[in-house]
Amino acid sequence: MLRYIGRRLLLTIPLLVGISLLSFLAIHMAPGGPISVAADLNPKATAEYRERMVRYYGLDQPIHVQYGRWLGRMATLDFGESFAPDGRQVSEKIRERIPVTLTINILSMGLIFLVAIPLGIYSAVRKDSWFDRISTVTVFTGFAVPTFWLALLLMILFGVKLGWLPISGLVSLEHDSLSLAGKAWDRARHLVLPVLLAGFGGLAGMSRYMRSNMLEVIRQDYIAAAKAKGLVERQVVFRHAMRNALLPVITILGLSVPDLLGGAVIFETIFAIPGMGQLFYQGVMSRDVPLIMGILVIGAFLTLIGNLLADVGYALADPRIRAG
């Protein structure tokens, strides 16, 4: 097992190098290179910025040396100072925002698993039934509805009309004066809508994947054999088919990381959640190159980690890979 993980880790190295190279080239291909971008934005400090940028990117060095430095800084997650008026370290800004985004993503991924797997299995077992059709339309609706529109509709319903849930933000003002249980409850109430929305949007991918895996497995010979042996359908489904259909689902976990991160831009903006998506959007609007690059690289890292975890999880669950 350790050997497998070790090999899997080695495989991510070329990807890491690729990510760094691609982002390095992107900065240097921006019209005029990094300096011009910086100078354009800060007319009042052009000379000072120019100097700082030259130092930061080591622009007086040959290009391979520059890349080497960029690689070194990336390894220590040093993305330089944000171009935003506050001029803070990009890594610091990302660090204070990333837990929120990750929490919501993990929760919504959990929700997707909880709902999509039974839905997919049942749809497959009852293929072409009304349940199958309705669940198909429902999960695709989740994918198809513009997030910000549904978000506002839910806010109006649950926040304004019914008054059950807060509209936006992460905690209420009185949060700090609440008891521990009160704090947890407060936080949970704020997370309901964003997690629900992110989950609803991602349901389609997972449940359809589960459904078609299940269909494939059901068609396999050994299931027919099991049925022929006289096992009840329920048992066949749960004991034999499900385990084999579930395995590949683990890999889709890793693949859904970039989509969830991308979606964060929208729901963090509409729900006023100070996460990485909102930060990225602000960076984009003010052409904050260090911030944009930093978040892109971090986003890619997270995806890599997601893929890695998925593969390891898959290996843990599937003895064939573990042995190999």
Partner 1 sequence: MAGGGAHSMFIDFLRRLARNRLAVAGGAVVLFFFILSAVPQVFSGHDPNRIDVLKVLQPPSAGHPLGTDELGRDVLARMAYGARISLKVGFVAVGIATCIGLLVGLFSGFYGGLADAVLMRFVDIMLCFPTFFLILAVIAFLEPSIYIIMIVIGVTGWMGVSRLVRAETLSLKERDFVAAARAQGAGDARIIFRHILPNTLAPVLVAATLGVAGAILTESALSFLGIGVQPPTPSWGNILTAGKDNIEFAWWLSVYPGLAILLTVLGYNLLGEGIRDAVDPRLRGR
Partner 2 sequence: MRRPLLLLVVLAALAAGCSGEKREAPVKGDAGTQEAPAYGDALVEGSNGDVSGFLSAVTSDSASHGAANYIFNGLVRYDKNLKLEGELAESWEVAPDGRKITFRLRKNVKWHDNVPFTSDDVMFTYRKMIDPKTPTAYGEAFKQVRRVTNPDPYTVIVEYDKPYAPAMESWGLNILPKHLLEKYPDIKQSPLNKSHPIGTGPYKFIEWKPGAKIVFEANPDYFEGKPYIARVVTRVIPDQATMFLELKSGGIDQMTLTPLQYSKQTDTEEFRKNFRKYRYLGFAYTYLGFRLDHPFFKDKRVRQAISHAINKKELIDGVLFGLGQEVTGPYKPGHWVYNPDVRKYPHDPAKAKALLAEAGWKLRADGTMEKDGRKFAFTVFTNAGNESRSKTAAIIQQQLAAVGIKMEIRTLEWAAFINEFVKKRKFDALILGWATGPEPDQFDIWSSTKTGPDELNHVGFANAEVDRLLEGGRRTFDMEKRKKAYFRIQEILAEEQPYVFLYAPEALPVFHKRVRGIEPAPAGIGYNFIKWYVPKAEQKYTSYQ
**Interaction site with partner 1 (CB under 8 A):** 14-15, 18-19, 22, 30-31, 133, 136-137, 140-141, 143-149, 152-153, 156, 204, 208, 212-213, 215-216, 255, 257-259, 261-263, 265-266, 269-270, 280-281, 284-285, 287, 292, 295-296, 299-300, 303-304
CB of 272 to partner 1, least distance (A): 14
Residues 195, 7: Cα–Cα separation, whole Å: 35
240: partner contacted, choices partner 1, partner 2, none (Cβ within 5-8 A by kind): none
Give the H or E element holding residue 206: helix 180-219
**Interaction of residue 313 with partner 2, rule CB under 8 A:** no
Residue 81 phi/psi, 5-degree rounding, is -95, 140
State how far the alpha carbon of 91 is from the alpha carbons of 46, 49, 298, in Å: 23, 19, 10
Residue closer to partner 2, measured from CB, 155 or 257: 155
Tokens of 158: 């649950």
Residue closer to partner 1, measured from CB, 30 or 178: 30
For partner 2 (CB under 8 A), the number of binding residues is 43
CB of 237 to partner 1, least distance (A): 17
44: partner contacted, choices partner 1, partner 2, none (Cβ within 5-8 A by kind): partner 2
Q: Taking the CA atoms of the chain, what radius of gyration do you get in angstroms? A: 24
Residues 290, 282: Cα–Cα separation, whole Å: 12
What contacts 125, CB < 8 A, 6 or more positions away? 214, 218, 233, 237
Dihedral angle, C-alpha 132, 134, 137, 143, nearest 10 ° = -90
CB of 54 to partner 2, least distance (A): 18
Is the C-alpha dihedral spanning 306, 310, 316, 317 positive or negative? Answer: positive
CB of 272 to partner 2, least distance (A): 4
Which one of 6-14, 22-30, 170-178, 250-258 is the stretch in contact with partner 2 (CB under 8 A)? 170-178
CB of 165 to partner 2, least distance (A): 9
**Interaction of residue 290 with partner 2, rule CB under 8 A:** no
**Interaction of residue 167 with partner 2, rule CB under 8 A:** yes
Residue closer to partner 2, measured from CB, 41 or 77: 41
Q: Which of 28, 189, 286, 309 binds partner 2 (CB under 8 A)?
A: 286
Which residues from 78-97 bind partner 2, rule CB under 8 A? 84-88, 93, 96-97
E-assigned strand segments in the chain: none
Cβ atoms 80, 90 nearer than 8 A:
yes
Residue 208 phi/psi, 5-degree rounding, is -70, -35
147: partner contacted, choices partner 2, partner 1, none (Cβ within 5-8 A by kind): partner 1
Residues 275, 103: Cα–Cα separation, whole Å: 10
Residues 195, 257: Cα–Cα separation, whole Å: 14
- Express the helix, strand and coil content of the chain in percent, nearest 5 each: 80, 0, 15
Binding site for partner 2 (CB under 8 A): 40-45, 48, 84-88, 93, 96-97, 148, 152, 155-156, 159-160, 163, 166-170, 173-174, 177, 269-272, 274-275, 278-279, 281-282, 285-287
